[in-house]
Amino acid sequence: MHMADALISAATGGAMWAASAGVASYSVRRVQTEIDENEKKIPLMGVMGAFVFASQMINFTIPGTGSSGHIGGGLLLAVLLGPHAGFLTLISILAIQALFFADGGLLALGCNIFNMGFFTCFVAYPLIYKKIIHKGMSKKNILIGSVIASISGLQLGSFAVVLETFFSGRTELPFGTFLMMMQPIHLAIGVIEGLLTSAVITFLWNTRPELLESSNIGKNKNNSNKKVIALLLCTAFVVGGFASWYASSNPDGLEWSIEKTIGSNEVEGSSSIHELFGNIQEKISFLPDYNFQSDQESQTQTKLGTSVSGIVGSILTLLVAVLIGKVSKKYRQLSKGVKE
């Protein structure tokens, strides 16, 4: 559900940048305290960022539709890191994707952050998943909570996409028709994402339950997370470097919805702002569409290009997420020093 710049106006893009920046600022302030209480959250932010980045490279086919989807990862990040650190980690993922892989537009980055991060971390997680889990931690409740929360987060996010195109004046995407395409396909994607999210959470609950408890309750700080961090990091490299070869080539839910609405998944942005952001993205992205630039010209997707993209993207995301955590911690220390 990565929106391209052409889908939104400059005004809508700017407004959503401001909204996402506001939520990010709030999250940074909250994460400062959380890191003080549990410093092990910083490396976990990096590793989970790498894991979700790699996982997003695998599009799974939605049977009988000709469409595909991938996990958003917001709910999984919120469960393991808490909503604030989860939101910031998702920002690092989406920023790396837009800047270096041309996945999602730069003007639309604020929309993508809000649509994929806010609704999962600050709505679906606390109001749905957490309420269900508080009834008792069990495989059944994890499954129910993950599926319902994933569906809810995606439904809200996909509805926001439709609203953003509507407020941007994209008359070629009629509100009602576009909505009727977006919601059902993202319902199907949400079910699969919920099942995958449930599987990961259940595995960690069975092997390292303190990870889930520490993100939500702040207990078990003395346990080492080195083994599970190493496992998640290795999994990220395997998924991004090799499993991504087998991703579905079908258009994702957003592209599919656009194509079903207007007969093509291409929407052109005509303003100078769109051109400016497009030129910046073209110069910065060294692996556009997760492939070598030389192969872009011949329209071929090489396994080597995919592998390099998965591994490099995972590493970059890990570094940025860790940097966010460390900067938050440093800012907290400086703030304390000033007050004293």
Q: Residue 339 pLDDT > 60, yes or no?
A: no
Question: Over the stretch 235-264, which tens digit does the pLDDT of each residue have?
Answer: 999 999 999 999 998 999 999 999 999 988
Kindly report whether the global pTM for this prediction surpasses the value 0.85: yes
Mean of pLDDT values over 199-220: 71
Domain 5-339 has CATH 2.40.128.640: no
The tens digit of pLDDT for each residue in 64-94 reads 999 999 999 999 999 999 999 999 999 999 9
**217: confidence class by pLDDT, cuts 50, 70, 90:** very low
pLDDT at 1 over 50: yes
Q: Is the pLDDT of residue 298 over 60?
A: no
- Give the pLDDT band (50/70/90) at residue 210: confident
More confident residue, 298 or 191: 191
C-alpha dihedral, 181 to 183 to 187 to 189, nearest 10°: 60
Choice between 221 and 258, residue whose per-residue pLDDT is larger = 258
